Amino acid sequence: MDYKIISFVGIILFIAIMFMYYEKKKISIIEICLIATLSALCGVFRVPFAFLPNIQPTTFMVICCGIVFGPLSGFVIGAIATIVSNFFLGHGSWTLWQMLAWGLCGFSGGVLKIFLKNKISLSIFCFSWGFLFGLIMNIWHFLFFVYPHNIKTLFAVFMSSFFFDFAHSLGNFIFAYTCGMDFINILDRFKSRLSLYDFKKEDYYEKN
């Protein structure tokens, strides 16, 4: 059984389904432009931190986008941010897995936003996602580059990546603690203006 092909097909189908559900939402052109801009922003902000192993603001930014704009938008932003950043840092078999991981970051932020109302809870959540992200990427590494597939080799993969995952988690915590609530407030303002614009436009068409 070729686990690599099965995992590839499964991830592609899952990402496609999430994008299909997002496409079925009632979305204005302005919102699409905003989501595209945030996706590019989250991706580009990863590039200047490439020299620091696993430390970048993308994870916490995607989570904040999910909190403000909802699970599906968070998933789309995380997935597209991966594609954008990898145009600079390099595409490969890891790209789909990163799309899945960052997409789930944004999705989970939207689902659990009720528990992420202050900087402490947000920072802890972002810290946790450093290891969850590492878990997903470790599975990719295990399936594609490790042989034989058994408990010992799987444990070795997790042990070898622990300090990188911890660096990712620590970076997430610092970014979220210092900038998280401010970033969410900025996104909230944009969302409010977007809603006001859509309301005025709908009102205009009703009157005319």
- Residue 195 pLDDT class (50, 70, 90 cuts): low
Give the domain range for residue 197: 3-207
pLDDT per residue as tens digits for the range 113-163: 999 999 999 999 999 999 999 999 999 999 988 888 899 999 999 999 999
Q: What's the whole-number mean pLDDT along residues 157-183?
A: 95
The CATH number of residue 108's host domain is 1.10.1760.20
Nearest to 15 by CA among 90, 93, 81, 104: 104
Please give the structure tokens belonging to residue 116: 């992420």
- Cα separation, 30 vs 33, in Å, equals 5
Distances, alpha carbon 118 to alpha carbons 72, 122, 185, in Å: 22, 6, 12
Q: What is the mean pLDDT of the chain?
A: 89
Q: Are 15 and 79 in contact (CB under 8 A)?
A: yes
pTM for this model (two decimals): 0.90
pLDDT at residue 197, rounded to an integer: 55
Q: What domain count does the chain have?
A: 1
